[in-house]
Amino acid sequence: MFSNAEIGIDLGTANTLVYSKHKGIAINEPSVVSVDTVTKKVIAVGTEAKEMVGKTPENIITIRPLKEGVIADYDITTEMLRHIIGKASKALGFSLRKPNVVVCTPSGSTSVDRRAIQDAIRNAGAKKVYIIEEPVAAAIGAGMPVDEPVANVVIDFGGGSTEVAIISFGGVVACHTVKIGGDRLDDDIIQYVRKKYNVLIGERTAENIKMEIGYALVDHEELKMEVRGRDLVNGLPKTITLSSFEIRDSIKESLLQILEAIRATMEESPAELSGDIVDRGIILTGGGSLLKGMEDWLAKEIAVPIALAENPLECVAIGAGKSLQYLNKLLYAAN
């Protein structure tokens, strides 16, 4: 049914990844596009566009066309996908053929959201488009036996949202999505620094702070980091020193909302599967799961074994690519 021209795409709020079963992850680029507002032309896509964030003249804007896992700007998303699929096709050696594509969507997405993603990918150069729910793809990519009648619990902590799902026998038994991900944590840090120090920092600086000294655990060895921003009082550059304890406090509320989603999903679990969850534990995937102390904090809060997937950043894309073997059970074909 399928030729070698088949790829899995993780169309994420923060990054877009392309997986091929022959070459693994072929593309991993930020979901960012730079556009000239005068000519309406796309200037850069991916890594090159991300380098421009906060550094462009007035006529050039950098856009993240996906918000909370769904398309916010259809035309820009199509252009971005055209660039990424073209690049992947060239790298994988089937540039003369249209590939079959399996793409992930959040489990809570509407039929309108799914149709928009299908249309965008088809218009970007795909032959046939299949949809798979993101938590299911993450579980497959993490090596979980999703087609067996056992509880597979996955927490996919992405850039725009976090999804908690219990998967058994090829389907989602219970799932909760919160629109809180890595981007929200970055924003929490920006607001904290602005409020306490009267200093404005950019998105990339906030992301670096989160990665360097961000902690989920309250009790940890203190880390410090020097940060440069703009003083909101006199407008001049200013350097401040931040502590990991401060960053933990700034992101606390967002982490607690994610914890509530996990507890809500557990409460909806059938009794027969609850025992499996205690025995088998929970797998963490997505970039947000790399936050320092995340595994220990969750294990302490919900008293269930927590493990980080082998390739948390790539799980969804890998699962999308490998999901063709579960074609009848898991994928929705676009007519």
Task: Return binding residues for ATP.
Answer: 13-15, 159-161, 207-210, 287-290
Report helix angle 244-267 to 203-213, nearest 10. 80
> Which residue ranges make up the annotated binding site?
13-15, 159-161, 207-210, 287-290
Q: 309 with 141: CB under 8 angstroms?
A: yes
